[in-house]
Structure 1
Amino acid sequence: MTDIDSDIAKTGSAMASDDSTLHILSTSDVAGIDITLSDVVSVVEQAYRTLADGRSDNPRKLTVKPRDGHSVAYAMLGRDGERGVVAVKTSYKHGLHEDRDMQHYYTTLTLYDDESGLPVAMLDCGRVGALRTPAVSALLARELAVPGARNALVIGTGTQGRLALPFLLTTLPDLERLMLFGTHPDGIRAVREQLHAYFPDRKLELVTDLRTAAQDADIVLATAGPHTPASVDAEWLRPAALSVLIGYGIAPSTLHRADRVIATSAAQMLVTGVDMADADGRLREVDAEFPEVLAGRAKGRTDAGERIFAYNSGLVVTDIALGHRFAQLALTQGLGTAVPLWR
């Protein structure tokens, strides 16, 4: 039994101790939780494997968006069979037509112990998502990148771009050339700071010629926002390259001309990947889903020369697993506030 498994086994009942009390973890509480990148990767990988084993439930998310598109809201319900936890995640963003600093974004995760039937915790889910997504990209790279991959290119310096390289180095420590394409000085500075914080001996190469950088990259992570000028075309990619779409930054041709397509969820790709459709409005079929690849039930890379496209969309089971891990650590670190919510 791993340390994480042991914590799962003994912490749930300690946290879910009162049917009228909810443990609240604020943004500052969550920010103060000490967790390693390898711990995050391990938790996320376990969540995928449990889902592939049929022991977890990850229904399709509900979406509400007004006609003018000024906001979007999501609700996601799921169950983690490894931890015996049921949870609801909500996400709301307002001001989608505004600059990033003018937008409002709120996301929460509420956890319930499905063995005792008691509430566990409610927490701000921002940091969970900021860690979960690059951890998934790093797992995709570990499983799908060409053997001996040495060069990685990250496009974008927002929330998902800032930890992309530290997570990649966690799963692929032999990477040598770390390239970044970004247009926001503050974001570029943040990427440098995060890389230095986790891997102080590694150097970041800021690139301006995107085509040349893409031609040199074994792994391309597209994490940019919707207004990015970046759009890597399939013809720019080297043979056997892996391109991973998280946000924006690569063209639809990278999907349609790929030798193999892997998605964290084919159903979610059909809903959230519509901007990658071809001229007829169609998306390329998915060859395999990533949980099945991790479980060994489906092939990831089948040939060293394949050019692979991977679609990284969030699954709520990974939020639940990582959120529960945060709740465990918060309890041991004395963080959070117990609120008698149902009295």
Structure 2
Amino acid sequence: MTHAPAAPTDIPRSGDATHLRILSTSDLAGIEISLADVVSTVEGAYRTLHDGLSDNPRKLTVKPPDGHSVSYAMLGRDGSRDVVAIKTSYKHGLDKGRTQQHYYTALTLYDDITGLPVAMMDCSRIGSLRTPAVSALLARECAVSGARSALVIGTGTQGRLALPFLLTTRPDLDRLMLFGTHPEGIAAVREQLRAHFPDRDVEIVTDLRNAAADADIILATAGSHTPAAVEADWLKPGTLSVLVGHGLAPSTLHRADRVVATSEAQMNVTGTDMADAEGELPSVDAEFPPVLAGTAAGRTGDTERIFAYNSGLVVTDIALGHRFSQLAIAQGLGVEVPLWQ
């Protein structure tokens, strides 16, 4: 097991008490980072949390009665990097189509040794990398031994890098399937897969039930308007189903032999759409940080149907955001704003 790469010692840890470095979407888009580096950084954040060195309080949520928007605020501290950060997330137009929705997310980092700001950045690329990396780690730890087939549901931001990250941790997969309804999204999934694994391609499936029945690993990354809803009785023994967005019916959770969550507290906040008729969610058998650390079992039998809830933890955003901020500072990217003058 590898841990997050050590921070380069020749990169400034932060700026000064009056300026804040702003890193835009285009600043971060130009930074090269390998999939293995992302996976290692995310895994290191989980291990540090499990060791009791980091703090990851439950996220706060605000949603209007008609459900047209949702906002989150997440505060955390990375004990291996001595960094404190807050992430905000706001999505508007949940009652509209994808092209009419607005989404903004930002991460602000502070150096907890010097007490100075590090950077504020658009967090969209961080999330687009962090989340599929977590799903890939869940697959590495919880999928049945000898898993050979995977199905990705959805072709949005989270679906487009799902397969490259999955192949990073499970290179033995030989059948890759995709269920999607947007032609441009399907093309983007293929493009990302070939960019990272030029010799691999994905099989586009239209019969979701048959595809789910053949899959050892299912990653449900679709948006809320997806027609996909895989049911528990479609799954063969041993299937790992990972919920990131939408695409799994509640039965896959309630009838699972084992439930794993990145955080049970966060699942209880953000997973209410998977509740039963009484509004209840089942208890979690294991949280993922101790599974990664080897103190809890991800899987206890080859025939277990496992449901894994990937809600994302802010400590992983902090670790990856700090990694990006250091790379950006080294390249002279961003704008210094005299925010506190």
TM-score class, shorter-chain normalisation, is over 0.9
CA drift of 1:173 comes to 0.6
Matched, 1:259 2:257: yes
Counting aligned pairs with the same residue, the percent is: 74
Q: How many aligned residue pairs are there?
A: 340
* Partner residue in 2 for 1:232: 230
Residues 43-52 or 62-71, more deviating? 62-71
Residues 9-49 of structure 1: CA distance to partner in whole angstroms, max 9, x if unpaired? Answer: 553xx131311111110010011111111110000000000
Residues 266-287 of structure 1: CA distance to partner in whole angstroms, max 9, x if unpaired? Answer: 0011111111112222111100
* Partner residue in 1 for 2:294: 296
Residues 238-262 of structure 1: CA distance to partner in whole angstroms, max 9, x if unpaired? Answer: 1101000011111111111111100
In structure 1, what is the Cα distance between the partners aligned to 2:91 and 2:241? 27
Name the SS of the counterpart of 1:15 in structure 2: coil
Matched, 1:277 2:295: no
Name the SS of the counterpart of 1:238 in structure 2: coil
Q: In the alignment, is the contact (CA less than 8 A) between 1:9 and 1:83 conserved in 2?
A: no
Q: In the alignment, is the contact (CA less than 8 A) between 2:4 and 2:44 conserved in 1?
A: no
Closer, same or farther in 2 for the Cα pair 1:161/1:56, shift >3 Å? same
* Partner residue in 1 for 2:184: 186
Q: Runs of 5+ in structure 1 lacking a partner?
A: none
Q: In the alignment, is the contact (CA less than 8 A) between 2:16 and 2:116 conserved in 1?
A: yes
Matched, 1:79 2:101: no
AA partner of residue 71 (structure 1): S
In structure 1, what is the Cα distance between the partners aligned to 2:66 and 2:6? 49
Q: In the alignment, is the contact (CA less than 8 A) between 1:258 and 1:307 conserved in 2?
A: yes
Decide which of 177, 198, 201 is 1:200's aligned counterpart.
198
**What is the TM-score when the length of structure 2 is the normalising length?**
0.97
Name the SS of the counterpart of 1:6 in structure 2: coil
* Partner residue in 1 for 2:7: 7
* Partner residue in 2 for 1:171: 169
**What is the TM-score when the length of structure 1 is the normalising length?**
0.97
Q: In the alignment, is the contact (CA less than 8 A) between 1:64 and 1:74 conserved in 2?
A: yes
Any runs of at least 4 consecutive aligned residues in structure 1 with deviations exceeding 6 A, and if so which? none
* Partner residue in 2 for 1:152: 150
AA partner of residue 16 (structure 2): D
* Partner residue in 1 for 2:119: 121
Two-structure CA RMSD over aligned residues (Å):
1.3
In structure 2, what is the Cα distance between the partners aligned to 1:172 and 1:3? 18
* Partner residue in 2 for 1:104: 102
CA drift of 1:99 comes to 1.2
Name the SS of the counterpart of 1:167 in structure 2: helix
In structure 1, what is the Cα distance between the partners aligned to 2:331 and 2:302? 45
AA partner of residue 103 (structure 1): Q
Decide which of 133, 146, 151 is 1:135's aligned counterpart.
133
